[in-house]
Structure 1
């Protein structure tokens, strides 16, 4: 219904050209369609998920809800406890019902079609540069029909001009993650899904 009402996060798996596993965590605002982050790494634990979330909150404000599937990183006790302590509610979709997180699925589809399927990624460092470039394009250049043919950043600016703030202040949060090494180990996701599409060279020339 408004900015920071519902965020959605999701994981997608892929491989680099050197056969290394690659995962990325995306985090979007369902109302403004802004992509707050694309965090790429070989493996992402629950502690990493919370670190990404805290960084995004410090920049964009506090969401009321976060929508996700029932992946082990998202249902980990460490994450659930931290969200509960900070009064951020969870919206878990039903198992096997990806359409219930349609905004995240739509973003993943655009990201795969416009970036992953067009780019040869050889290393983790290269993937981070490519993903950062594409996120900049997605947020500040790419028009969205659902936003009146505005890019997400321009649409968010119209909300600011209309007096709509970012929601709850970030200083109300209890930052930091209290977890044990045992929890972190159990939270590591093991089910890698190769969703790789046909690989083509990325059409955008980067300096």
Structure 2
């Protein structure tokens, strides 16, 4: 049996996929078909959560920590709400420093999340971590591509032998009308399928 723990923001919750549950159950089916083992998943997504909230969850929520300890596969979605807050602030202040600060803070928090997970998993059986990079829901906003690309580049710097980043930015670019939900921010069912496929493409080493 494979234990899969999904932690993060509204993307992990599956907001926008009314009947399909988002990428988590879709990715679970890929895992099951590839590793030929039953998958049990836990969704720990908090809509609107910034990276600081996710760090707090892995630090202080005992149920979250217990689930992560036994997980064979962990997915993380984080950082989107930090940059969204910065975009809102920028629309009033027109100060690019709000993006710089949001980028620095979110990457530091994600780094800390990964450190806590490694501590929880110390000495445990093989496991893998998958993160999801950010797509751009507002390509008409001039600064958005630049800062999202910078964020994604920093996210990729965390990659190692058991941690890979599912790259969805390019898949969504130019296809927003087909892949985004009615709110023009969250993915629809097709969009979440794209995320699940991107996670699947990163393989399953060291599990198989």
TM-score of the superposition, structure 1-length normalised? 0.27
TM-score of the superposition, structure 2-length normalised? 0.27
User: Which structure is higher in RCO with an 8 Å CA cutoff and minimum separation 6?
Assistant: 1
Higher helix share: 2
